[in-house]
Amino acid sequence: MKKNRLDTAEAGVSLTSLSEFIDRARPLRNAQSLLMGTLHHTQELFEYIPREAVELISEKLNLPTAHIYGMITFYNYFSLKPRPAYQIHVCKGTACYVSGGSRVLERLKQELKIDVGEVTPDGLFGLNVTRCLGCCGLAPVMQVNEDVYVRVVPERLPAILNSYRQKGIRGKASTRVGAFEHPGQSRYDNKRQATGRRR
């Protein structure tokens, strides 16, 4: 299981990069208004917000950690735990629900041996429930990162999961959101770019 703390050299590089980011931004605004953007940037760098990063931000912006923690936990967007390589969203909106969405969810729980909101010990899959993905005519729907699966029946799930297991952690599609770095770019453009990219 990936820990909530950083331990790799790669992470050290990211912390340095975060530190430089704050140094660049610091003269532009006061600490309070810089915090939001800095947290966005942190999540982009690490794909979650590690404690080391909070401590660094606290020191650099001279803001108390309790305050930063309050900000992080207020917004759903920020995560304090490492994100899974593949986040599965199962729709439980009305249309999906009546056409068997909950059976899909049950089967996923069995296959992955985790509950909703949890991440598998290998950090590969995370399971979430969503309310509507906007294609009710194709219910039941589920989404794995950017890939959408329609008319899902539980029997198809092992094969779908295996296809991601073969790609492994390194093969995942980037889910970066570039809103902070490129304010002019729409979320849609950004997603479209990202889907094709492999790391």
Partner 1 sequence: MNEKKVTLTIDGIQVVARADATIMEAAEIAGLCIPRLCYHSRLSEAGACRVCIVEVEGMKNFVPSCCTRVAEGMVVRTNSPDLLKARRDIVELLLDNHPEDCQTCARNGDCELQTLAQQFGIRERLYQGERKHFPVDISSASIVRDPDKCILCGKCVRVCSEIQGVNALSFSHRGFRTNVGPAFDLPAAESVCVNCGQCTLFCPTGALTERDDTEKVWQALSDPSKVVVVQIAPAVRVALGEPFGFQPGTDLTGQTVAALRRLGFDRVFDTQFSADLTIMEEAHELLHRLAHGGKLPMFTSCSPAWIKFCEHFHPDFLENLSTCKSPQQMMGALIKTYYARKQGLEAASIYSVSIMPCTAKKFEAARPEMKASSFQDVDAVLTTRELARMIKQAGLKFSELKPEEFDDPLGESTGAATIFGVTGGVLEAALRTAYEAATGKELERVDFNQVRGFEGIREAEIDLDGTRIKVAVVHGLANTHRLLTEIRAGQRHYHFVEVMTCPGGCLGGGGQPRPPQGTEPLDRSFYQKRAAGIYTIDSRKIIRQSHKNPQIKQIYAEFLGTPLGEKSHHLLHTHYHHRTPKGFASIREEIFNL
What are the residues binding partner 1 (CB under 8 A)?
51, 54-55, 58-59, 62-70, 73-74, 80
Distance in Å, CB of 77 to partner 1, minimum: 12
Distance in Å, CB of 39 to partner 1, minimum: 14
CA gap 102, 129 in Å, rounded: 10
Q: Could you tell me the CA-to-CA distances from 137 to 90, 101, 194 in Å, in that order?
A: 15, 13, 26
Closest to partner 1 by CB, 73 or 94 = 73
Q: What share of the chain is helix, strand, coil (3-state, %, to 5)?
A: 50, 10, 40
**Contact in structure between 113 and 122 (CB atoms under 8 Å):** no
Closest to partner 1 by CB, 39 or 63 = 63
Distance in Å, CB of 193 to partner 1, minimum: 32
Distance in Å, CB of 101 to partner 1, minimum: 25
Query: How many Å is the Cα radius of gyration of the chain?
Result: 19
Closest to partner 1 by CB, 99 or 128 = 128
Q: Name all contacts of 110-118 with Cβ < 8 Å and 24+ positions apart.
A: 111/157, 111/158, 111/161, 112/161
Closest to partner 1 by CB, 64 or 168 = 64
Distance in Å, CB of 76 to partner 1, minimum: 9
CA gap 110, 37 in Å, rounded: 39
Closest to partner 1 by CB, 64 or 171 = 64
3-state secondary structure of 60: helix
